[in-house]
């Protein structure tokens, strides 16, 4: 299969599934996807009614899916529901995640602390990718976007070991999946945000002066890049984890 040459962002007729959709970056991504024409299934542990309302307000279809991504069968059920409701899936965005305790010294990290973060961030990301894969393949290809982190690149600005390891794992999973998906037209990329002002970081001591562009990221800063990476505007990019951090990390 060869993928069409890149064109402008236009998601009309596309069906997307977004995890971590109840708030923060995931919510902003849902709203932006709908703005560009996509129907959006909003998945989260929390109720997604508010996000679904934002999608509906753009004149697109929404679905709200309560799901704990740590459980493979719940993830499969959620993907099945999208397929039953809309008859296909073109886009997966994983924006779920937990930070864990950023201040914990190495010797205090318990097995439970380690597993809690890895299970949500990495295991959950894998379950979503695995469950959505056949749907995208059946649609003749599609786009996957996994939210990584600057933490997975630099060993944490402030984040703890489990979070950094989970995000590094997701970056590697992007590349593994991009290699396997290319032949089926499944393009897989990631975004590695720097600090973004969301409920996840509200209690963390990030400061505007840590960032060359002079402010923390806003969810919309990530959502607009996400649109590019799940649209035909990026049809020649796969296996890439894009740094979006206001200049905090330049590689």
Residues lying near ligand NAD in the complex (CB under 6 A) are found at 19-20, 22-26, 44-46, 67-70, 95-98, 120, 124, 147, 149, 193, 195-196, 198-201
Report the run of H or E that residue 190 belongs to, with start and end.
strand 186-193
Q: Which is nearer to ligand NAD, 135 or 192 (CB)?
A: 192
Q: Give counts: helices (H), strands (E), the chain.
A: 8, 7
The residue from 163, 165, 185, 193 that is catalytic is 163
Name the 3-class secondary structure at 243: strand
Q: Which is nearer to ligand NAD, 170 or 186 (CB)?
A: 170
Strands (E), 22-138: 39-44, 62-66, 91-94
How would you class 130 by CB atoms within 10 Å of its CB: exposed for 0-12, middle for 13-18, buried for 19 or more? Answer: middle
Name the 3-class secondary structure at 75: helix
Q: Which is nearer to ligand NAD, 139 or 165 (CB)?
A: 165
Parallel/antiparallel/unpaired status of strands 142-147 and 186-193: parallel
Please say whether the beta carbons of 161 and 109 come within 8 A.
Answer: yes
Q: Which is nearer to ligand NAD, 18 or 136 (CB)?
A: 18
Q: Is 206 a catalytic residue?
A: no
Minimal distance, residue 124 CB to ligand NAD, in Å: 6
Residues acting as catalytic residues = 163
């Amino acid at each position: 299969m060869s993928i069409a040459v890149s064109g402008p962002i236009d998601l009309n007729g596309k069906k997307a599934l977004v995890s971590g959709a109840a708030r923060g970056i995931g919510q902003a991504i849902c709203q932006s996807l709908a703005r560009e024409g996509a129907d959006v299934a909003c998945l989260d542990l929390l109720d997604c009614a508010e996000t679904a309302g934002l999608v509906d307000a753009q004149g697109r279809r929404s679905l709200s899916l309560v799901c704990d991504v740590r459980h493979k069968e719940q993830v499969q059920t959620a993907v099945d529901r999208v397929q039953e409701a809309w008859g296909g899936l073109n886009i997966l965005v994983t924006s779920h995640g937990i930070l864990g305790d950023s201040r914990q010294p190495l010797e205090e990290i318990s097995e439970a602390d380690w597993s809690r973060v890895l299970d949500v961030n990495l295991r959950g990301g894998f379950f979503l990718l695995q469950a959505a894969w056949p749907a995208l393949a059946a649609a003749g290809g599609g786009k996957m976007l996994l939210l990584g982190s600057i933490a997975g690149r630099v060993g944490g600005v402030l984040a703890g070991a489990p979070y950094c390891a989970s995000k590094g794992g997701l970056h590697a999973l992007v590349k593994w999946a991009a290699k396997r998906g290319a032949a089926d037209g499944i393009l897989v990329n990631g975004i590695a945000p720097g600090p973004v002002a969301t409920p996840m970081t509200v209690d963390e001591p990030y400061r505007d002066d840590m960032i060359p562009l002079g402010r923390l990221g806003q969810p919309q800063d990530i959502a607009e890049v996400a649109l590019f990476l799940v649209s035909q505007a990026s049809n020649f990019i796969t296996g890439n984890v894009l740094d979006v951090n206001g200049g905090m990390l330049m590689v």
